[in-house]
Structure 1
Amino acid sequence: MTLDVRIQQSVVANLSSRPAPVRTGPFVIGVDPSVDSPGINYATPLPGLEISRADVTALVAAFRSYARKPRLEYVVSTAPGLERLLLDAGFTVEERHEYLVCTPGTIEQLPAPGGYTLREPITDADRAAMIAAQNAAFGGDPISTDADIARIAALQARGGIAVMALAPDGTCAGGGQAVPPNDGVSEVAGIAVTKHHRRRGIAGAMTAEITRRLFVAGAEIAWLEASGEDSWRVYERVGYRPTGRRLYIALD
């Protein structure tokens, strides 16, 4: 089994763990009734299955029936003809990314900067603080909803990892998480540091700690995507290496 296929299967498993996943033909849609965000409610193809125009039409209809924006994320090589079918159906490419992979043999531990501590959010108050910091770091409102808090708690209960960074004054400076491993593979995501605390090494330390915890729990492969050159350099210092390509594509 190729690494691309293993990564794609981990995406399928992640979406299948949503509160109300939908299987339609060769696709799975990760539906979460509590939120309509396209970044959560998206689809991905099952690797190795034939995909037709009729399958794409049915996929769009399924999205519409749940009042969700038709959107997909997937490893390109595992569905080589899919992009053409989606473009013909009116989809537009949002982004193309390389994904990076880390293994127990490549990970480097990066300590938290002086005065900062890294730990798991244990209470709902912890989770709320972490989510608010992540939202602020990504340019949103520094708030967290009950649904957000429940989502992180459920992720942890299923074997996922969450880590928050606490500043010297006790406030949350950022956070990140990893989904529960599937067949030894887990995605690390949501690594974010609020503006005032950036460029101190916190993002690298959080990424390293989340990845370390995954490997201690038995994961074999951790993977993630970098949003720009700065984050790319951070992840490479932790031991992540570029490996394959992913596509984000949606129908407006």
Structure 2
Amino acid sequence: MERIDLFCDTVPRQWATVTDTGPLRIFTRTTPGFPFYARPIPGAGPVTAEDVARVRAAQRGLGVPETFEWVFATAPSMDAAVRAAGLSVQVCPIMVLDGMPRPMPFPDGFRARLLGPADGDLAAAAHAHLIVASTAFGAPIPAAPTAQTVAALAADLAAGRIARLLVTGPDGVVAAGSIQRSGDVAELVGIATAATHRGLGIGAAVTARLAEVARKAGVDLVFLSAGDASATRVYERVGFRQVGRCGIAEP
């Protein structure tokens, strides 16, 4: 849990600035993408409702969402603090992979592709990746990436800081998923399947492929957070097991 907590404190720094307010830390994204949460500073001590209120005011000033995340094992005071501050809380299992993932083939007619930094269609592929993920999670459809955004993505892909998987079928792009890495720890994020193609085993296949990519790249600890019981069962089929809980709080 401490390794995962430190990872969550380290990874956003590649794409965000840091503002510390008491025992809490705000990450303000400097590149296009989903906003980061505020979270407890590792080892900073207990968090109170007053700390949360102060950070929410700072987030409003910075123009970022008033959202928070934490690992229960390393920040036991956060749950009560955010609830006392009037925020809603979602609790998600943290799951880790032991060994290699179980083989999960894609259904016939579907093909998975890892985006590469030298791909001639990287801009279009990156946009398709964002669209399927945003649609699956109920977020607004993003605009096409700029040349600067595509260049930054290519640099991240080349450095191994991230990996992105795109799945296409007879009807076009139907699923996506990503890896974000820091040192020997990697998190699988944004695993999404279009509503029209759920129940076919595509999500499990995406998870297994990404986990395999991380392992073959030398990652020692592969983890993810499950959004609900259905997703948890999918990840368990791949070989992940629950080791803890994380919280997400928002107005």
TM-score scaled by length of structure 1:
0.84
> Does the residue aligned with 2:4 lie in a helix, a strand or coil?
helix
1:161 matched to 2:163? The reply is: yes
Task: Measure, in 1, the Cα distance between the counterparts of 2:103 and 2:61.
Answer: 46
**RMSD of Structure 2 on Structure 1 (CA):** 2.6
CA offsets per residue over residues 91-150 of structure 1, 9 Å max, x none? 4133011111113x2521211111211111241111111221222223455554427964
Residues 15 and 30 of structure 1 are in contact (CA less than 8 Å); yes or no, is this contact kept in structure 2? yes
> Does the residue aligned with 1:187 lie in a helix, a strand or coil?
strand
CA offsets per residue over residues 69-90 of structure 1, 9 Å max, x none? 32211101211223333334x2
Match of 2:119 in 1: none
Task: Measure, in 2, the Cα distance between the counterparts of 1:192 and 1:154.
Answer: 24
- The correspondence of residues 171-190 of structure 1 with structure 2, limited to 5 A, is 171-182=172-183, 184-190=184-190
Q: CA deviation at 1:243?
A: 0.8
Residues 93 and 247 of structure 1 are in contact (CA less than 8 Å); yes or no, is this contact kept in structure 2? no
Residues 165 and 176 of structure 2 are in contact (CA less than 8 Å); yes or no, is this contact kept in structure 1? yes
1:40 matched to 2:35? The reply is: yes
Task: Measure, in 1, the Cα distance between the counterparts of 2:54 and 2:159.
Answer: 31
Task: Measure, in 2, the Cα distance between the counterparts of 1:225 and 1:108.
Answer: 18
> Does the residue aligned with 1:200 lie in a helix, a strand or coil?
coil
- The correspondence of residues 146-225 of structure 1 with structure 2, limited to 5 A, is 146=145, 150=150, 153=154, 155-159=156-160, 160-168=162-170, 171-182=172-183, 184-225=184-225
Q: CA deviation at 1:203?
A: 0.9
CA pair 195-57 structure 1, distance change in 2 beyond 3 A: closer
1:21 matched to 2:18? The reply is: yes
Match of 2:137 in 1: 138
Task: Measure, in 1, the Cα distance between the counterparts of 2:3 and 2:207.
Answer: 21
Task: Measure, in 2, the Cα distance between the counterparts of 1:212 and 1:106.
Answer: 7
Match of 1:115 in 2: 109
Q: Which amino acid aligns with 2:238?
A: V
More strand by share: 2
Residues 15 and 28 of structure 1 are in contact (CA less than 8 Å); yes or no, is this contact kept in structure 2? no
Task: Measure, in 1, the Cα distance between the counterparts of 2:59 and 2:88.
Answer: 18
**Structure 2 spans left out of the alignment, 5+ residues:** 117-121
Task: Measure, in 1, the Cα distance between the counterparts of 2:51 and 2:229.
Answer: 37
CA pair 157-46 structure 1, distance change in 2 beyond 3 A: farther
Task: Measure, in 2, the Cα distance between the counterparts of 1:144 and 1:194.
Answer: 19
> Does the residue aligned with 1:60 lie in a helix, a strand or coil?
helix
Q: How many residues align?
A: 242
Identical aligned pairs, as a percentage? 27
CA offsets per residue over residues 184-205 of structure 1, 9 Å max, x none? 2211111111123222211111
- The correspondence of residues 85-96 of structure 1 with structure 2, limited to 5 A, is 85-88=81-84, 90-96=85-91
Q: Which amino acid aligns with 2:202?
A: I
Task: Measure, in 2, the Cα distance between the counterparts of 1:139 and 1:58.
Answer: 29
Q: CA deviation at 1:157?
A: 4.2
TM-score scaled by length of structure 2:
0.84
CA pair 62-128 structure 1, distance change in 2 beyond 3 A: same
Residues 115 and 163 of structure 2 are in contact (CA less than 8 Å); yes or no, is this contact kept in structure 1? no
Q: Which amino acid aligns with 1:138?
A: F
CA pair 47-232 structure 1, distance change in 2 beyond 3 A: same
Task: Measure, in 1, the Cα distance between the counterparts of 2:195 and 2:53.
Answer: 43
CA pair 61-141 structure 1, distance change in 2 beyond 3 A: closer
